[in-house]
Amino acid sequence: MNTLHIVGRKNHGKTTLVVALLAELTGRGLRVGSIKHTSHLYDLDAPGTDSYRHRQAGAAPAAIVTGALIGVVFPRDPEADFYRRLEPLYAECDLVLVEGHLDHPGPKIEVWRGSLGTAPLAAEHRGILAVVTDDPLALAVPIWPRADVPALANRTLAIARGCAGGATPYRDLPAAGASGSTSSKTRT
């Protein structure tokens, strides 16, 4: 599974960026999946519903199928790599954007907003390859402007290509625009 993590502290814009990248990349003809990772524990199904009752009675997995969607719920083994368990569901994806999961191996870009008064994660986590922000910032990783979504999509694909060992299913798809250069804000 070809994943790229979009990380950042709470309220820095991770979901907003993931949604913008999903729209841009799928608009180019790519098949892009997403995974929202959270460390919080909560039930994905509503107590009292039929599907909830199925799970409580021991169904694993349990699914609900509507006229438009399919939802599958199965228990998570905290010791197992859940990405491996999800991999068959994402087999046809060119790329999977993961919102969060800072401590998992894999390429990461951070979303950061200076107005929230917290330090960027990239200052302390070496696995972050770039920071997306419209605020002034000096770090040893590239700083990419948030406002140019087509350029961010190009850069996201470049990172995914580099981390996939060069063999990517989307290498022949056209990139939008020609704005994929590295920001001049990068400190060397």
Q: Per-domain residue ranges for the chain?
A: 3-40+77-163
pLDDT digits (tens, 9 = 90+) for 105-134: 999 999 999 999 999 999 999 889 999 999
pTM of the model: 0.81
Residue 7 near residue 123 (C-beta atoms within 8 A):
no
Residue entry with tokens 């799970």:
55
Domain 3-40+77-163, second-level architecture: 3-Layer(aba) Sandwich (3.40)
pLDDT band at 163 (very low <50, low <70, confident <90, very high): low
Alpha carbon distance 3, 167 (integer Å) = 14
Residue 133 near residue 146 (C-beta atoms within 8 A):
yes
